[in-house]
Amino acid sequence: MTDCLAGPAHLNKSGHLVGGCLSRDRTTNTPGTAERGPLCDADLTHATAGIALLTCDYRDLEQLLPRPVGQRGDGQPSRGGEAPIPLRLDVEALQREIWWLTTAWAEVLADRHRLSDPPMRIRDGYAVEWAVRILSPRVEQLARITDVQMASYPRPDDTSTRFRTVTLTYVPGAQGVLDLSRAHQRARSVLGLTEPVYVLPGYCRSRGCGRPQLRVKGGSDTVWCDYCAAVMTRDDYDRYGNLFLRVEAAA
């Protein structure tokens, strides 16, 4: 058993801990234990669900791109002279990253497991769909693959070797799983599908926990502990909230 490759959380620009292993110790920020490979079960489960949705992410991001000038919504040409539409370069870059990551890692799996060859000369959206069909049921196998040499990997690290216009990077399959999962999270953020999570004062009431890790989503009636996953209603929290605050003040 080893520490999860996802590692500890890091500080964002606002000074909050983000990312990291999903099963990490919230008090010491140490990653959880991986028993079946480089990643813990929580990260594998989370990544499997996210990778399966990358096809939908790619398709939904397409709706954010402007249509070509001179083309109506039905695809028929219209009269010219319209004002140019600003491009969404961030959306195009994210789509390109999703295409690159999914097709590259799917080809690695297809080669090692002797699966069907990747389709040739098809649109990027169909290539992503093929790749996700290969990746989705084999996330655990992908996480166990050792270092693979990638050319122009979208997320190079400090060990990458640059040769003229090409960057060579050795990437383990587990890192590929994390990069695919994070691409899904970025797509959800761009699409406006993420919900804000607020920190509540007080301590968890679960026996054996008692940590100040209470969270709630905006407009939700459910309060949960971010450490032990214990759940209570917002009414229960409001009823016992003063008690929590007295305990916190006494400490």
DSSP state letter for 121: S
Q: Which residue has the higher pLDDT, 33 or 247?
A: 33
Amino acid at 89: L
Q: Residue 174 phi/psi, 5° resolution?
A: -65, -40
Q: Which residue has the higher pLDDT, 199 or 99?
A: 99
Is the whole model's pTM more than 0.75, yes or no?
no
8 Å CB contact between 48 and 20? no
pLDDT in the model for residue 143: 94
pLDDT in the model for residue 248: 39
pLDDT per residue as tens digits for the range 129-154: 999 999 999 999 999 999 999 988 88
Domain boundaries, the chain: 2-146+172-194, 196-251
Is residue 116 helix, strand or coil? coil
Q: Which of 82-86, 87-91, 102-106, 200-204 has the lowest mean pLDDT?
A: 82-86
Q: Residue 237 phi/psi, 5° resolution?
A: -65, -45
Q: Which residue has the higher pLDDT, 134 or 192?
A: 134
pLDDT in the model for residue 131: 95
Q: Which residue has the higher pLDDT, 251 or 130?
A: 130
pLDDT band for position 61 (50/70/90)?
very high
Q: Residue 216 phi/psi, 5° resolution?
A: -150, 145
Between CA 173 and CA 152 the distance in angstroms is: 16
Which of these, 184, 202, 199, 198, lies nearest to 245 by C-alpha position?
202
DSSP state letter for 213: -
pLDDT in the model for residue 132: 96
Mean of pLDDT values over 237-249: 55
List b or e across 117-154, with b for residues whose CB sees 16 or more CB atoms inside 10 angstroms.
eeeeeeebeebbbbbbebbbebbbebbebeebebeebb
Mean of pLDDT values over 21-44: 82
User: Can you spell out the DSSP letters for 131-193?
Assistant: HHHHHGGGHHHHHT---EEEES-SS--TT-EEETTEEEEEE-HHHHHHHHHHHHHHHHHHTT-
Q: Is residue 201's pLDDT more than 60?
A: yes
pLDDT in the model for residue 172: 93
